[in-house]
Amino acid sequence: MNTFATRRARPIQRLRLRCWATAFSLCALLAAPSAWAFRCNSFVIDAGMAKPEVLRKCGRPNLQEQRIDRRILRVRVPAAPSSGLPPGSTVELERERQVLIEEWVYNFGPQQFMQQLVFEDGRLVSVKDLGYGS
């Protein structure tokens, strides 16, 4: 009878081990730095940072371009009482908004990837590896 109980216990122990390993892996992934982060002069540069802060930590970029992008925003607002809609109704309005997009490229040399940083209205929104620098 002990043999049967031992055989049955092993799969349960393996399942528990797998659960613990999965939980540990998920915790490690959550604790890892953002995929959009990179190091610049020992500082971590991450999404959400302001342009002056990035400039202070990394210096001037090798390439800097900017453009204006137009975005359509849909906003729900309460309907006007004179609209003929039931009280408490909402209507959806479209509004156009201009966003200043800036792209900076840092070239850290042939041993490191070049980094493309994209700012929207002065805030860093993405970091992309471009390949090895020159």
Domain that holds residue 27: 1-32
Same domain, 21 and 63: no
- Is the pLDDT at 4 greater than 80? The verdict is no
Question: Quick one: pLDDT at residue 33?
Answer: 41
Q: What DSSP letter does each residue of 62-108 carry, written as one string?
A: SEEEEEEEEEEEEEEEEPPGGG-SPTT-EEEEEEEEEEEEEEEEE--
Do 16 and 48 belong together in one domain?
no
Instruction: For residues 18 and 69, state if they share a domain.
Output: no
Report pLDDT digits (tens) over 31-82.
444 456 778 888 999 899 999 999 999 999 999 999 999 999 898 888 888 8
Total count of domains within the chain: 2
Do both 77 and 98 map to the same domain? yes
55 and 17 both lie in a single domain: no
